[in-house]
Each structure stands twice: as C-alpha cells, then as structure tokens.
A and B are shown apart, each in its own frame.
Chain A
Amino acid sequence: MAGGRTGQPGTFMRLLGYVARQPVLLGAAVLFLILGTVVLAFQPLLFGRAVDEFASGDAGNATLYGVSIVAVAVLGGLLTYVANRQLASLAQHGMELMREDLFAAMQTLSLGFYDAEAPGDLNARVTSDIETVNQFFTAAVPRIITTAMTVVTMLIIMFSLDFTMSVVVLLIVPMSLGLIVVLGRRIQADAAAYQQLIGEVNGYAEEVVQGQRTVRTYATEAETLSRLIELSEEAREADRSAQFRSYLMQPASRLVNNLDIALVGLIGGTRALSGAISLGDVVSFVGYSQQFGGQAMQLSQVVTQTLSAVAGARRVFSIIDTEPDLASKDGATPLPSAEGKVDFDHVDFSYIESKQILFDNDFHVEPGQFIGLVGPTGAGKSTIINLLTRFYDIQSGTISLDDHDITDVELDDLRHRCGVVLQVPYLFSESVMYNLKYGRDGATDEECIEAAKSANAHGFISRLPNGYDTVLAEGAVSLSQGQRQLLTIARAIVSEPDVLVLDEATSSVDTRTERRIQAAIDRLMEGRTSFVIAHRLATVRHADQIIALDRGRIQEIGSHDELMAARGFYRDLYMEQFTNGDHDDQPV
C-alpha cells in the first residue's frame, strides 16, 4: 500500500505526536510525573537512613524520619495522580484525533481504493488496529513515562550514593534484556502464529454462520463442524505454547531480580566491610534493586504492547497517507445548477490497466432527455454511470456536463447535480428520516415525507413501529429488498438532482410495485436528464435515446422504434425475451 514507508522509529514518534498536540498540558503532566517520582524515590533513601541510625542505637530522629516518609508518600501520591489523570486525558484525546484523521482520510479516497480492499479486511483493520493503538495510549504511554522517570530519578540518587553499587544494581538491565530477547521473541512469534490461525478460525466461523442457510440447504452441518474443529485445534496448539511462555515471563523475571538482589547483598556487604559505604546504604541498594526488578518486569510488558501498537499504527498511517487519486482541481469551476447536457467524447476506460472496459464511447445527450442503457451483463452499462458521477477517472476522451469537462468541475457540485439509485439498495442503520434526508443537505421533514409518498414508500413506513423515526438496525426492523429499494428511490427524489441515474433500480421490485414507482419516476424525470439501466426492456422503450452496449462498445443509438426498424443488435436483444434464446451461438 502507498505511503507506508515510514520506519519503526518514525511511526513511533508520529504516534507520540498525537499525545503531544497540546504541548503545554503534556509538559505539565510530565513535570508532575517527574516531581512525583523524584519525591517517591526519596522513600528508600529515608528508610535506609532511618534503619541505619536505628542500627547504630540512635532513635533520636525517628519522628522526623517517620513524618518525612509519610509526607513524601502523600505528596508523591498526589503528584503522580494529577499526572496520571492528565496523561489519560491526553491519551484519549490523541486517540480521538487519530480516529478523526483516519476517517477523514478514508472519506477522500476514491472507489478505486475500496475496490482493492475486501470490506471485511478493511473493517477488521480499522477496528483492531485502532484498538491496539488505544491500548498503547491508555496503558503503555503513562507506563513508559513513569518507568523512565522512576529509573532516571533512582539512577541519580543511586549514583550519588555509590558508583560501584549502582553498576551492580544495573546488572539487572542486561539480564532482563536477555530474557526479553530469548523468551519475549518466542512469545511474539507464537502470538503472531496464533493470531494468524485464530484469524482463520474466526474467518471461517463468520462465513459458515452467515452462510448457515446454505449449510442447511446442502445438509453440510457435520462437514462444516469438523472443518471448524480442525482449524480450532490448530489454533489451540499455537495458543497453548504462546500462553505457556508468556506466563513464564513473570517467574523468570523474578529469578533475574533475586539474582540481582543476592549480588547487591554480596558485593555491598563486602564493600561495607571495607568501609567504602555504610551498612544503611547497602540496605538502600537492596531496596533499589527490588524496585528496579519491578520496573524491568513492567517494561517487558510495555515492549510487546508498543511493538504491536507500532505495527497497527503503521497500517493506520498507510491509509491516512494514501493520496486521494480523485480530487477537485485547484480553481475548479463551481456548478451550482445544471441544464443537464451530457457529452461522452470518445471515452476509453479501464478499472485496472490490463483490462479495458469501455472502448471509444461517444454519445451526446440534450438537457431533459431520457436515456436508456441496455445490453447484456458485463456490457459496461454501470461503468458509464460510475464515470458520469466521476467515481473513477477515464484514460482518454472527455466527459462533459453542460459543456464543462467534469474533471474541471468542483467534485462536490458535480455529484450534487447527479441523483443516483444504485443496484444494491444501501441504507444506514439510522432512522428512516435520516436516510431520506441523506439525499440533500437541508431537506425538511415535509419534503422527505412528500418524497416517500411519491415513491410509494409512505404506506409501509407508516406501518413501521415508530414510523419515520424507526431505526433501521440489523435484527431490529427487517425491510424487504423491495422496500429498501423504495426508500432509496425516495432518497433520490429528495436529492432533487439535475441528472437522474437509475441503475437497475427496480430489479427486485415486482411488476405492480414497479409500475407504481414508475409513475413517480416519470414525474421525477420530467425536465431532468435521466439515465436508466433496466433489464426489462419495456422500462426504457419510451426513452428518447436507447444506447445499446455490448462488451464495452456502443452498438446502436436511437429510439425504440428506430432501433427495432434497424433490425440490429437491439432488436435481437428485444426478441430474445420471447424466443427462448433460440439463436444462441454459445455451446451449452
């Protein structure tokens, strides 16, 4: 995918950049965290000194030490809390911004991008990658900062006490790193293998649950079950070793930690004997060593989280960075309204380079004309519509609306001028009214109800549980395919287009219903340029021009009567409706 060339460190910094959008707040949070950590780091020091003095038989300062430790605890706790709150809020805000960027980027991408991605994959990526990054922001980022601050403060205090002992305490770092390298890598590899396998399990489950009616039809319940078990067993094996190893991480770190404590005790004891440091300092160092172990353990968890967040973020950024390949030109012509004159001049088009779809398409439509597009499946009828609304750009030739090349027109304006009813009725899981208003910004309730009435949709909408306010969500209200189509037609009516496009819009509506909406469509088409794709040739027989297409080439253009008289391609197509396809040249 384009744009995903940033390296791991680059992605990481960019990710952190989302938290750093409010530098003052972030600075304040970090400052509080530093202060809190510094204050808390005094605790082992004070404690060590106290034990030291008590051991020498002097309890004179016990109250001072005790009160200081409590004061340090309260102050340190407060500072840390304020900082944690601030960081949580910055992290959540960063997530909000990132989701916004992603969504905004996805909206500018052309259909070409969506064609190349399986919708299921894109959904999963958007959801799970964002969630991984969220985990990173909420759990890992505050931890990284806290840990880093704690380590730095402890280092300063430790080194001010004794250099050699500090080095001994720090031995835990290479040991823990070794552990992360040896065990952590295995865990990551296992986890990746498991993710892959469980992805297959879930993918298969999704398919067979969605296809359960087909499973029922062919009575393949047992076969699908055994396939699922097989996949699930493979995933189980990978999961088992991943889980086993990840649960080993904690006792292994503890072993490393205890090894370090023993070393500190041994070397510290020797140094205390030689008088290089006090016994109390050794006690303090034992405490630091324990704390360092804890920090190391936390860091090892953070490392895994960070790595997967960086991987997830890289995929998110690759979407954000994809350059929209279709946009209005600078200084594009605004087109607040259109007469509806449409011209295709020698248009060639292919979705992918190797496979040309349209060849030299050339036709001219006067304002208000009714155009029928006919031809066998795959002739390129829908493609013409996709090009007119500029869902894709053509390779050669020009398409113009009112004598403006559509690539020179504001894209927003162009699409506002065209009202489209697509082959597959798509509705949003919002209220019926929302879906109707979708047609045009600023449409009123009354206009929408009026549109529903003229699309013959008002009747069934009124019978829905909450009428126009009924929310169309899966499992709640089920509309038939025909009803959904009526709604999309009403939506197109609301949009008050200058050019109307109906792409096989009536294919799931029965004849009677079709006739009723045909009346509404006739009204809608009045005075508007209209393109209609229909399989039932009767629907377009009154068209001003019928464009008959076959394999991407225009075969004939003319009215129904002209084309019937011409006894060519269109007439053959028309006659096939009645003649059982007798003159069929394809071997069966």
Chain B
Amino acid sequence: MSGIRAFFRVLSYAPASERRNFMLAQLGVIVMVGIQLMIPQLVQRIIDEGILAENTDRVVEVGFQMILWSVLNLIVAGGVAYLTALTATNLAHSLRRLLYEKVTTFSHGDLDRLSTAELLVRLTSDVNIMKTAFMQTMFMLFQAPWLLVGAVVLVWIQSPSLVWIMAAVMVVTVIVVLAIAPGLGPLYAKAQAALDRLNTVFYENIAGVRVVKAFNRTELEAERFAERNQEVYQRQLKPALRSALFQPVLFGLLYCAVGVAVLTSGTEVATGVVNGDPDALQPGELTTFFNYLLTAMIPIMIVAFVLPELGKFEASLSRIVEVMRTEPDIIPPTDPVDPGELTGRIEFRSVSMSYLDGDRRPLQTPVLRDVSFEAEPGETVAILGQTGSGKTTLISLVPRFYDVTDGQVLVDGNDVRTLDLTALRSQISVAEQQAMVFRGTFYSNIAYGRSYGSDRASEPRCDYHQAEHAARVADAHGFISAQLDGYDGAVTESGNNLSGGQRQRLSLARAIAAKPRILILDDTTSAVDVATEARIQQALDVEMAGRTVLIVAQRITTAMRADKIVLLDEGTVSDVGSHAELMERSELYREIAESQLGSLEEIADLLEAP
C-alpha cells in the first residue's frame, strides 16, 4: 500500500497538465471496466435469448452489439494507453533531467563519497523501473477495484443465490494471494543481489583479463564463478517456485467455485426450467456466473502482478530521493565576485585541509597542514613529494574542487570561496593523470573546453587550426595525424581505443586549447617517456609564457625546469625554492634527485662532457 502512496506522491509533484491527463485516463479506465463487465452479460444474452431460445436473429443482434462495444473499448483503451505512455515517458525524462542536474552540482568531495556506479543505476535502471511500474499502475492497477466491485454487484443483482459462493472464493483467493505475493519482493531482491555479485566476476574477468591470464588462475576464477553461479541458481529458484503456485491455485479455486455452483443450484435451475419460472436461476446465468468469476479473478491477478512492481517503484523512488536530497558540500557564493580576466597570481595562506567523512565531518588526519606559498603570474611552479604527501589535494584547491578546512587559497588576491565558480574554473585548466576523455572525435575532445563555457559564448570556438596547435604542444599531433581520419578520427567511450599515454596527451591538448590563465598538470606525463616529456615541457614553456603553471611531478627532471619547486612532505611544505637552491639545502630533495638520476658527481660529469 505504501507503494500506492509513493505513486501519488510522484504524481503530486508532476505539472498540472500531467495530473489532468491522469484524471482523464482514470475516467477512461472506468469506461473500460464498464465495457469489460458488460461483455459477459452479452455472452449470456446470446446463450439465453439466442441459442437457448433458438433465435438466430437475436444472436446476430447481440453479437453485433458485442463487437461494437469491443470497438469502443479499443478506442477508449487507446486513449488511456496514449495518456499513460505520455505521462510515464514524461516522468522518466524529467527524472533523468533532474538527477543529472543534481549530479552537476556535486563537488569533487561529494563525488568521492558517492559511488559512480550507484549514481548511474539511479539514472538508468531506477528511472526505467519507475516508468514501467508507473504505467502498469496507471493502466492496470486502477482497473482492479472497479472490476472487483462491478463483478460482485452484477452477480448480486442477477443471481443472488450464487453471490455467497463468489464472496467465499474471493476471500480465499485474496488470502492466498496475500500469502504468496508479499514474500516475492524480498526474494527477488535477494536474487538480484546474487546476480550482481555474479556479474562482478564477469566484469572483473573482462577488465582484469591480463591478470587472470598472467597468473594463470582460471581455475580459481572458475571456482569463484561456479560458487556464485550456484548461489544465483538457488536464489532465483526460490521466487520462481513460489510464483509457480499462482496459476494452479487461482484456476483451481475458480473451478472449485464453479463446481460448488453446479452442485448447489442444479435443482433450482432444472425446476425453474420445468415450471417455466422466470424468477428462478436461468441456465445461462450459470454461464454468466462462471464468466463473472473469471472477471473478478482478473483484478486479483493484476494486483498480485503489479504490487511487487509498485514495491520496486517505491524502492527506486527512495533511492532517487536520496540523491536529490544530498546537499553539495561546495556552495557557490551568494554574492560572487567576478574576477574578470585572471592575471594568475596564486597564494596559499596557511592552508590546512582534511577530507570529509560520510557524515561530512573532517577526517582526523589532515592531508595538508599549514601550507603557504605563492605563484606569481607567468611562473611555473612544480609540486614534488612522495605518494600521499598531498600534491593532488593541493592543486585541487585552486579551482575550488574542495574547500579548505583552515586558511585561504587566493587567486588574484581574492579568496576562491568568494569568486564566481564558473568564471574561476573556466580560466583554469586541469589535466589529470587518469585522464578522462569522451566519446567523439579527437577534435571534439580537444575543443571540449573552448566550445562550451557559458561565460565565453561570445569567444570564437576552438577551430581545427587551434586544435592542431594545441595537439602539437601536447605532442599528440603525431598519433592523431597517423589516424585514418586524422582529427576527425573516432575516440570511443572513455577513450578505450587509446593507450594511457595517448589519453594523457589528448587531455593535455584539451587543457591547452582552453587557453587557460592558469594551467594545472597533475602528473599528466607519467605514461610518456622522458624524451617526449621534455619536448612537451619545452613547447609548454613557449605556449604558456606569461601564464601560471602548476605541475605535480614524480620525476625530478620535470621539477628541475620549474621556476620554483614546492617540496611537500606528509602534507607540510618541507621547502620552497629553485632546483639549485634545493640541491644546496634540502636533504630530502637531494635524496630524490640521486635516486632518480644516479650519483651527483656522475651527473655533473655527464653534463660537462661534450
């Protein structure tokens, strides 16, 4: 029943036009039910007034009426079907829109906490479940009460002596349905959960095929699979066995009722015929009774069929509502400052940052502690430090992907929390290590940051020439032009047809093509070789002249070229300075340099040699 409440709750949020359509459809449903109840009456008349009265004209007449009513039923049902399809598909569309709109308000922190897979399930299968259940409810479920009441009332009027049989069989049927149906929902849910676990094995054997083959653990995987496959079998069998009861029990009950009717009313019918008593139960009425029993059985089956669907509807709705109720943890300023075109000065002022836990409370251990440094316009600043030292966190604070816990991040002297978010972000490009590229062409991916951006609608789109230029800087021109279709060559979903290094360079080209005032490279060249990286660096120096560049680096050779190196150690700034300065005074820096380049004397020798 809570499913029905959920249904009306959804309807109450719909626009007035949808509610009007719903009401109109319900009127149609009542007409349909009326016609469905009338048809057995007409069948009875064919038997009683036509066949048994040996009157073929009457058979033709009533038969014709029956067909007319059926045509009318088809027309009305067509109207109801159209309104139902209209309302339900509008609902699905609105849900998809609202959900994605919500997703676009989530911060990086929100996205870290929510699982991508779960968000996608809301957007795809939950929406679909709601649509299907909505249609079934609107078209079928609301027929049920009318049909049931109508069938009982008609039997009452026509054959009062049989109504108690009908009532009895209805009660038993409802009890049986209530005994079987509600238990099915949880069983299906368990079966689905088992299936999800099984599919995980499938997915992992596809995604991790190299590992499975390299360690040659096909047997282990086969065992894991067989175990879960067996579990799916058992879990899916339970609801199947349970629902195997429905059909035999319902039809068994129906026929039992017919038997009882025959048993108890035979004498009345026969006597009535012999005496020609018109008030007695007529033979045709026995047939009608059978038909009304069938008619009354249908709504019960509908309820048994649709109720579990409504249960799913409710479950999907509550999952969607949960997403809709998630408050994004980064709230745009109410009175945003428009920074205009950035000069690109960045300042970290005693910044501390802790990620938030599931309840939005800062975690115990901060990722960054008391970080202060400055990047002047036109400077290239490298961020160096070991895994987990907070490099990526640090650069994520500049475009305000996360908020600081303490201190301030200033861009052009303004706290980023006061700036217009779109204006800020559209002037900063970030190229990530795990580069995400989109389905489309090489050109559409490179132009991604420029062809969009509401604030820069007046600015010309990135044309092919500019895209090629950006690709050359990112050393991506070579592999793109080697494609059959060059820049119009296809990039498949998530860039699956590209290597890791190619994706990185493509995303770098995208970042460059956006002509940012601040460029952030988060270990963007980790998958390309040293020589290529050096080429990219050199080209970037020219391309980004006068603009600020932040580079997260693993390789010391990358950091060496920067104007300034921020050396992070477990979330704090260990030192800031140029390569020469740090070589001079930082133990940690020298340690890193030697491990990557070999002994310092040797490097010096090599560089001096011709």
Contacts and interface: CB of A to CB of B under 8 A. Distances in A.
A225 B104 CA distance: 8
29 contacts: A54-B270, A69-B258, A70-B256, A72-B255, A73-B258, A81-B249, A89-B237, A111-B209, A207-B439, A213-B111, A218-B510, A219-B452, A220-B453, A225-B97, A243-B81, A248-B77, A254-B70, A259-B67, A266-B59, A266-B60, A266-B63, A283-B283, A378-B499, A441-B220, A480-B388, A510-B385, A511-B592, A535-B555, A576-B531
Contacts of B247: 80, 84
B78 A210 contact: no
B229 A239 contact: no
B342 interface: no
A420 B591 CA distance: 29
Given A95-B236, A247-B85, A59 B210 contact: no
A255 B388 CA distance: 71
B530 A535 contact: yes
Max count, chain A CB within 10 A of own CB: residue among B439, B472, B529: B529
A535 B530 CA distance: 7
A218 B557 contact: no
A214 B401 CA distance: 11
| Residue of A80, A99, A273 with highest tally of chain B CB at under 10 A | A99
Contacts of A576: 530-531, 534
A273 B56 contact: yes
Nearest to A94: B233
Interface in A101-129: 103-104, 106-107, 111, 114, 118-120, 122-123, 126-127
B429 A441 contact: no
Contacts of B74: 248, 251-252, 254-255
A551 B472 CA distance: 20
A66 B494 contact: no
Given A40-B255, A243-B88, A512-B592, A216 B93 contact: no
B529 A376 contact: yes
Interface in B220-256: 220-222, 224-226, 229-230, 232-233, 236-237, 240-241, 244-245, 247-249, 251-256
Closest 7 CB pairs of A and B: A66-B263, A62-B266, A77-B252, A262-B63, A581-B534, A69-B259, A73-B255
A81 B530 contact: no
Interface stretch (A155-163, A342-350, A399-407, A424-432): A424-432
Given A77-B248, A107-B205, A262-B64, A62 B283 contact: no
Nearest to A245: B81
A461 to B, nearest CB: 15
A423 interface: yes
Interface string B383-424: 001111100000000010100000000000000000001100
B300 to A, nearest CB: 16
B270 A205 contact: no
Contacts of A507: 526-527, 554
A95 B92 CA distance: 31
B214 interface: yes
Contact of B67 (A72, A262, A588): A262
Contacts of A303: none
A377 interface: yes
A522 B541 CA distance: 38
A229 B88 contact: no
Interface stretch (B9-17, B47-55, B312-320): B47-55
A415 B383 CA distance: 41
B251 A40 contact: yes
Interface centre among A201, A217, A578, by most chain B C-beta atoms within 10 angstroms, is: A217
Contact of A515 (B84, B211, B214, B595): B595
Interface stretch (B146-154, B343-351, B374-382, B596-604): B596-604
Contacts of B220: 438, 441
B46 A216 contact: no
Contact of B595 (A134, A261, A511): A511
B207 A107 contact: no
Interface in B321-349: none
Interface in B281-332: 283, 286-287, 290-291, 294
A580 B500 contact: no
A456 B571 CA distance: 21
A509 B433 CA distance: 13
Interface residues of A, number: 181
Contact of A415 (B215, B245, B387): B215
A475 B255 contact: no
Contact of B84 (A216, A243, A504, A578): A243
A198 B89 CA distance: 12
A92 B233 CA distance: 6
B200 A429 contact: yes
A540 B60 CA distance: 97
B248 A84 contact: yes
A214 B215 contact: no
A335 interface: no
Interface string B532-548: 10110111001000000
A535 B529 contact: yes
A255 B493 contact: no
B371 interface: no
A330 interface: no
Contacts of A286: 43, 46-47, 287
Contact of A265 (B50, B240, B426): B50
Contacts of A168: none
Interface in B490-516: 492-494, 496, 499-501, 507, 510, 514
A251 B77 contact: yes
B256 A74 contact: yes
B67 A268 contact: no
Interface string B72-105: 0110011011101110111011001100110111
